[in-house]
Every structure is written in C-alpha cells, then in structure tokens.
C-alpha cells in the first residue's frame, strides 16, 4: 500500500457509537489537524485529477469545501459550491432527493456551470451516495458532464457508488 494512504488512514479517528449506538463514525478532524496528512490528501486528489482536464470542481457542503477548495486552486479551475436550501444569496437551481426517512434538497447558483463543462464532484465521505447522486444531477441540470465523484473516505460496505452509477467514483481510503 502507498505510504501516503497509510498516513491518511493513521490520521482518521474511529468514534464508536456516534451519532448513535452501533455506528462507528470516521472522524477526519485529526487528518485536517495534521498539515502533512491534509497536504497529502490534497496532493493525491490533484495527482488523480490533473490529467483529466477539468473545467470546474463542484464541492458539497460543508466538508467537501475543505478538499474541493484546494483541489480547484491547484488545478486552476473554478470552485462551485452546492449547499442546503436558503444558504446561497443568488438565484439557484435545486434538486430534491430522498433520504432514509424523508427528503432533502440541494442548491447551486444558476449558471455556475456551462454546457459541456467537465467537472468532479467532491465530498469528504461516501456512505449511501444520495448526496453525491443529487449533486451530480444538479451539475447535469446545468449542462455539465460529471467525470467522477471524489471522496477522501468511502464506506465500501454501504455500496454508495452504485447510487450515482454510471458516474465513476474515486476514493483515497476505503473501509
């Protein structure tokens, strides 16, 4: 295994029984607190995405912003943000999506992306994939091509990548 991935794994903290009994939460705050690990995560994402000639990075609120911002900056492309309803100050496009017990909604400023833009959707963690699927749909609504969805951590046993197929997924760490 790549030593850089080992470094990332060593800085992810397991928090048992959070947010409820039986869940083991993967906490990225120690990774963010380590300049070496944080830099490594961003560098690995940049290495993977630089050859793909992207037009924008689409980051999901809020932890996706942490990784999407530096990725966009290093690639020299715009960062476009996707947020929960009522958080963006301009006209928005929206997508409603289904949760386990109800629905939620995501928004992005209108005209954030152009027809044919090649984009990557970025978030910190892939669990069930609903948020990534909704974000990919939102980008598509603006005419963009979602090349891939990127994550620092993937909970592979939940099979979230199937939710937004045929868009491929890329994860630095899979549990």
pLDDT tens digits, 20-57? 999 999 999 999 999 999 999 999 999 999 999 999 99
Architecture of domain 53-174: 3-Layer(aba) Sandwich (3.40)
Average pLDDT over residues 119-130: 96
> How remote is the C-alpha of 161 from its chain's centroid?
12
Angle, helices 3-11/35-49, rounded to nearest 10 degrees: 130
State the catalytic residue, choosing from 43, 61, 63, 118: 63
DSSP-derived 3-state class of residue 165: coil
pLDDT for the residue numbered 101: 76
Percent of the chain at pLDDT above 90?
A: 95
Cβ neighbours of residue 40 closer than 8 Å, sequence gap 6 or more: 4, 7, 8
| Rounded Cα distance, 81 and 24, in Å | 28
The confidence score (pLDDT) of residue 102 equals 81
Judge whether 100 counts as a catalytic residue. Answer: yes
The owner of tokens 């690995």 is 44
* 142 to 91, 95, 118, 146: CA distances (angstroms): 13, 11, 12, 11
Q: Is 6 a catalytic residue?
A: no
Helices (H), the chain: 3-11, 29-33, 35-49, 63-75, 130-141
Domain boundaries, the chain: 53-174
How many C-beta atoms surround the C-beta of residue 159 within 10 A? 13
- What is the rounded CA–CA span in Å between residue 120 and residue 144? 10
């Amino acid at each position: 295994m790549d030593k850089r991935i080992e470094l990332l794994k060593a800085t992810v903290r397991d928090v048992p029984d959070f947010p409820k009994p039986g869940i083991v939460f993967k906490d990225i705050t120690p990774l963010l607190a380590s300049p070496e690990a944080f830099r490594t995560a961003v560098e690995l994402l940049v290495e993977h995405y630089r050859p793909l000639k992207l037009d924008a990075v689409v980051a999901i609120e809020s932890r996706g912003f942490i990784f999407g911002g530096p990725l966009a900056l290093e690639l020299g492309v715009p960062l476009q943000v996707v947020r929960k309803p009522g958080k963006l100050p301009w006209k928005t496009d929206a997508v409603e999506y289904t949760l386990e017990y109800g629905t939620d909604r995501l928004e992005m400023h209108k005209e954030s992306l152009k027809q044919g833009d090649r984009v990557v959707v970025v978030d910190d963690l892939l669990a069930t994939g609903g948020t990534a699927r909704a974000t990919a749909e939102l980008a598509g609504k603006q005419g963009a091509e979602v090349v891939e969805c990127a994550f620092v951590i993937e909970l592979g046993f939940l099979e979230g990548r199937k939710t937004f197929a045929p868009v491929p997924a890329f994860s630095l760490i899979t549990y």
